[in-house]
Amino acid sequence: MALDPQLLEILACPEDKGPLLYFADEQSLYNPRLKRRYDVRDDIPIMLIDEASSVDDAEHERLLAKAEAEGVRPTFEAAP
C-alpha cells in the first residue's frame, strides 16, 4: 500500500526541511540534497534523523535516474 497523497504533501526532511522523493516500491523517502534515505515501515514513514541511512554516489545516481524515469515528483515544491 502506498502512502496517503495528503500525507506526502506535508512530509519534509526533518534535518533540512526540504522535499523528499517517495519510492513506493522501495518503501522509502529520499532526500537527494543530503543523500539520505528514510524507511517506510507498515505504511509509516520513519522520519528520525538517527534512523535514516546515507547512500553512496552510485545509489544516489540510481535513485535520481529512477525518479526521472518514473516521474517521481518531490513531496512539495520548495520555496526559492
Number of structural domains the chain divides into: 1
Residue 16 falls inside a structural domain: yes
Q: How far apart are the first and last CA of the chain?
A: 33
The pTM assigned to this predicted structure is: 0.92
pLDDT per residue rounded down to tens, the chain (80 residues): 688 889 899 999 999 999 999 999 999 999 999 999 999 999 999 999 999 999 999 999 999 999 999 999 999 987 66
Residue 80 falls inside a structural domain: no
DSSP per position, 42-58: TTEE---GGG-EE--HH
C-alpha distance from residue 17 to each of 6, 47, 78 (Å) = 17, 11, 9
Q: What is the pLDDT of residue 5?
A: 86
Residue 28 falls inside a structural domain: yes
Residue 46's domain comprises: 5-70
Check which CATH number belongs to the domain holding 62 and give it.
Answer: 2.20.25.10
Q: What is the pLDDT of residue 45?
A: 96
The Cα–Cα gap between 9 and 52 comes to: 20
Residue 77 falls inside a structural domain: no
